[in-house]
Chain A
């Protein structure tokens, strides 16, 4: 894994020098000696996630049951120490980073699938269950868990709930919130509360819907009841190759205009294609300007009809070639190319910064041109790989964090891209979350009154702001205050 940049903000104290030994002692009493980490060399592994930010926690706690989480919350409240929940640390907005130190609660050991009810298409899981493990465990029953972030082989369902994660197939199937029915949460007061219900339409306010995507600022999730989705009878995966980016983006708009809702519709631009091909050998042509990876699924006849319609649109928009994956192996290869795009970018540059802007999909051509202009303005290489079907962009800005100017320009370029997204009626984040990365941009999207209401809503759950403090809401941080320090190695949870 390449070394990536690290931002430490002056308003985030680097780990408090010594943790209250009394608190450590109390935590150890609850969790056992193997249930906490506090040695500096261990904590280093927990100071970052998939974003470019870091901060070191004071200790990491490993609960095994809801009761452990309750006890951790009570202790944190008594000692007035922040708590930050953490799944696999794959998040891209700093959501799992202990910005103000405190206890990181790792759910690595709460990773059991508690119940599967295939008949009613329900599963109950602990938050540390890895996203793709759930689908693998229920595959033989003909169902799966629909949200499929690119990090699905590592990311946890608890993390998906916190961030309201998406993925390529959310185009047709919806994001995490559309698949969560009920939660057990632990409030920072130590109170465990159940939200929602296994049956549909729980009476009262949709607190579950409010909670999903609250980025760890409302409560710690200890149990999740999800919907399982019937797996389609047939899947058709198409790879369309274009000599012009505009042709590719116009194809996306036309597919929608024809009333076809693909299961997924992903785009990679020429630069990203070459980076991916060198790394994954997915069979992408090196001399093209864009590819679309489009999937149709459902009943065999429906998938075939949609695939035919999609192929027609691609050809009408001058696709050089449209390939249909012949078998599951080729389909996996196409997807491997898409899902490893970030990794491929990482091989070509010391660091990269991924954006998550959303735009109305008709604004795709103009937005991609704007991104190119911004890249030229700052002399930065920006690759594009994204969920074209729902207008969710992931520009990847390559930079070298040892070059301070380039780093600053990277942040500025990222902000300019997101400002453009807002200007055309979009949003600053489609699936990665605001976290500590985009908090400063929130006032561009929401008024002070909107943000104040959100703060008051947070206060209902988390009145003392002890839970994941320093996230979502703007702080005084500005670009000029950010500085860089090197970092090594990936985040790894100790084996449970």
Chain B
């Protein structure tokens, strides 16, 4: 906003009012992305204002990055240009909640915590226990594509988002999907906006399917001498009649950072691995699950040293840590690089044993379905440490495409690394289509330019 800065500002004021424009450098830093600060932040209060703002930005060729609570701006590349931060936190209304229909519609800036507490009054929830849960908004959660351990039984956002309202890069307010649990009218455009990092549109409203909260859950932890044994336990569970609610394999380095110590475990040696598995159901079901778990252990002789049940407080703490793993790592080690690696379930042993070759501090949480978050961080603040970090990440990216590193991305890492590593990994085969789709939604290239895969 240079030459016509004053005019531009007066137009912004006209749309949202002066109170909803942030220009002071101090408060603006919360919108920083890898040290890039926008010229201004605007806080629209309605969907119409969002459309007006995007239209305005389009006319003035101002690059916009949409955010909610600014908890996950670190994901992705910094924008090529960054003029305006569109802060949707004032769009925080629950539009509709029909407990008996198990559907909910909320504006994008609604905090997850607010939605969770409203749903809890009716013993319902949305299976999004995600990083930065306490502050995150629903829009930011959906658009950044973060996942939850609950995906093991409930799937990801693409499985329970029913529809969306959004504003495209040319300022057009559009809608896709609907508010009923089953619907095939029109193209599922909203699926593509999930995980699109704000490059296709500003999501203003999201419709969800909600789920009944299980009356009872129980979580067990099994401890193993090594990763292969832990993975074999995971395989045995997956092959059995059991239907876990969550199933996570956790390295000792991750467990030791965050989770309460269980019992004396000296006998297990240094390369301990834990499997956290939870179930829902009535007492009979939970008893049967435990029995099967024990039987599973016996069918793999000697693999598990012991299996224990967590008390409700431990269960909550474990669920929270497993959900918050990337956030917890970043809090403790701001210079960490967190790789997201997708493998097939049966390839997890190879992924786990790879960690033995990492020559710097690391920790990994592997979802039983085959998605792993591997964190590595420099032992100290020396420039050499950053170099090591880069080398390690580079080594993994070099393996990308081959099992078990079928897909590799680097959602979180220090800014310096982003200049040297392609954090989105190899281009997908359908990248040309993606580029053309981006052009349909954002012909002027003003929405989060350069943030996503292949510089989209």
**Chain A residue with the shortest CB-CB distance to B340:** A201
B 425-456 binary contact with A (CB < 8 Å = 1; else 0)? 10011111110111011000000000011100
Q: Does B3 contact A (CB under 8 A)?
A: no
Contacts of B172 in A (CB 8 A): 449, 453
**Which one of B66-74, B186-194, B315-323, B376-384 is at the interface?**
B186-194
Q: Does A489 contact B (CB under 8 A)?
A: no
Chain A residues within an 8 Å CB radius of B409: 203
B422 CB to nearest chain A CB (Å) = 11
Q: How far is the CB of B168 from chain A (nearest CB, A)?
A: 7
B-binding segment of A96-104, A296-304, A340-348: A296-304
The complex places the Cα of A406 from the Cα of B343 at a distance, in Å, of: 58
Chain A residues with CB under 8 A of B21:
none
Task: Name the contact of B281 in the complex, choosing from A117, A299, A434 (C-beta under 8 A).
Answer: A299
- Once A200-B371, A391-B181 are accepted as A-B contacts, the answer to whether A213 and B187 lie under 8 Å apart by CB is yes
Tell me whether B195 and A445 are in contact (CB under 8 A).
no
Give A391 Cβ to nearest chain B Cβ, in Å. Answer: 6
| Beta-carbon contacts under 8 Å, B74-126 to A | 98-103, 123
- B285: chain A residues at CB < 8 Å are 299, 301-302, 305
Contact with B344, one of A177, A198, A359, A390 (Cβ below 8 angstroms) = A198
Indicate if B303 sits at the interface (CB-CB under 8 A): no
Count residues of chain A with CB under 8 A from any CB of chain B.
Answer: 85
B183, A427: Cβ atoms closer than 8 Å: yes
Q: Which of A3-11, A252-260, A282-290 contacts B (4 or more CB under 8 A)?
A: A252-260
Q: How far is the CA of A166 from the CA of B181 in the complex (A)?
A: 12
Q: Are B180's CB and A446's CB within 8 A?
A: no
- A45 CB to closest chain B CB (Å) equals 27
Q: Given known contacts A206-B191, A460-B440, is B369 in contact with A431 (CB within 8 Å)?
A: no
A-side contacts of B281, CB under 8 Å: 299, 301-302, 305
B184 and A431: CB pair below 8 A?
Answer: yes
Are A199 and B186 closer than 8 Å at their CB atoms? Answer: no
Nearest-Cβ distance from residue B97 to partner chain A, whole angstroms: 12
B158–A209 CB distance below 8 A: yes
A359 to B100, CA, bound (A): 13
Listed residue (A120, A178, A260, A299) with the most chain B CB atoms within 10 angstroms of its CB = A299
Q: Are B155 and A199 in contact (CB under 8 A)?
A: no
A284 to chain B, nearest CB (A): 25
Chain A window 264-298, contacts with chain B (Cβ cutoff 8 Å), 1 for yes, 0 for no:
00000000000000000000000000000000001
In whole angstroms, what is the CA distance A203 to B452 when docked? 9
The interface on chain B, measured as residues whose beta carbon lies within 8 A of the other chain's beta carbons, has a size of 84
Report if A126 contacts B (CB, 8 A).
Answer: no
Identity of the chain B residue whose Cβ is nearest the Cβ of A424 in the assembled complex: B180
A144 adjacent to chain B (CB < 8 Å): no
Chain B hits for A121, CB < 8 A: 345
Q: How far is the CB of A196 from chain B (nearest CB, A)?
A: 8
Q: Are B189 and A454 within 8 A (Cβ)?
A: yes
Task: Evaluate contact between B194 and A459: CB separation under 8 angstroms.
Answer: no
Within 8 A of B (CB), among A402-436: 425-434
Contact of B345 among A120, A203, A205, A429 (CB under 8 A): A120
- On whether the beta carbons of A177 and B182 are closer than 8 Å, the reply is no
Which residues in A have their C-beta under 8 angstroms from that of B195? 201, 205-206
Question: Contact partner of B189 among A163, A175, A194, A457, CB < 8 A?
Answer: A457
Q: How many Å from the CB of B186 to the closest CB on chain A?
A: 6
A237 at the A/B interface (Cβ < 8 Å)? Answer: no
Q: Which residues of A contact B406 (CB under 8 A)?
A: 197-199
Q: Which residue of B192, B287, B346, B371 contacts A207 across the interface (Cβ within 8 Å)?
A: B192
Instruction: With both chains docked as a complex, state the minimum distance between the C-beta of B30 and any C-beta of chain A, in angstroms.
Output: 28
Contact partner of B242 among A119, A299, A427, A451, CB < 8 A?
A299
The residue on B at minimum CB distance from A260 is: B212
A164 within 8 A of B: yes
What 0/1 pattern do residues 339 to 365 of B give for CB contact below 8 A with A? Answer: 010111110000000000000000000
Known interface pairs A119-B345, A197-B407; A204-B189 also in contact (CB < 8 Å)? no
Whole-angstrom CA separation of A194 from B433 in the bound complex: 10
- Complex contacts, A164 vs chain B, CB 8 Å: 184, 188
With A256-B102, A460-B436 in contact, do A446 and B186 touch (Cβ < 8 Å)?
yes
The docked-state distance in angstroms from the alpha carbon of A301 to that of B243 is: 12
- Smallest CB–CB gap between B74 and chain A, Å? 17
Contact B344 A122 (CB under 8 A): yes
Chain B residues with CB under 8 Å of A19's CB are none
Q: Are A434 and B192 in contact (CB under 8 A)?
A: no
CB distance from A9 to the nearest CB of B (A): 20
B262 nearest CB across to chain A (Å): 26
With A210-B191, A305-B284, A433-B184 in contact, do A456 and B178 touch (Cβ < 8 Å)? no
B residues with CB within 8 A of A: 98-103, 123, 145, 147, 155-156, 158-159, 168, 172-176, 178-189, 191-192, 194-196, 200, 211-215, 235, 238-239, 241-243, 281-282, 284-285, 287-289, 340, 342-346, 369-371, 406-407, 409, 424-425, 428-434, 436-438, 440-441, 452-454
Show the binding face of A for B, using Cβ within 8 Å. Answer: 117, 119-122, 142, 163-164, 166, 170, 174-175, 177-178, 193-195, 197-207, 209-210, 212-214, 230, 232-233, 253, 256-257, 259-261, 298-302, 304-305, 358-362, 387, 390-392, 425-434, 438, 442, 445-447, 449-451, 453-454, 456-461, 472
User: Can you list 29 A-B contacts with CB-CB less than 8 angstroms, sorted by A residue number?
Assistant: A121-B345, A174-B159, A177-B188, A178-B155, A195-B430, A197-B342, A197-B428, A198-B344, A199-B342, A199-B370, A205-B434, A206-B192, A209-B188, A230-B241, A299-B289, A301-B288, A358-B183, A359-B180, A360-B179, A390-B182, A391-B180, A391-B181, A392-B182, A430-B184, A445-B185, A453-B172, A453-B189, A457-B187, A460-B440
Not counting A210-B191, A453-B189, A460-B440, a sample of 5 additional A-B residue pairs whose C-beta atoms are within 8 angstroms of each other reads A199-B406, A205-B196, A230-B241, A360-B101, A391-B182
The 9 closest A-B pairs by CB, nearest first: A209-B191, A259-B212, A199-B342, A199-B406, A233-B241, A360-B101, A430-B182, A194-B429, A120-B344
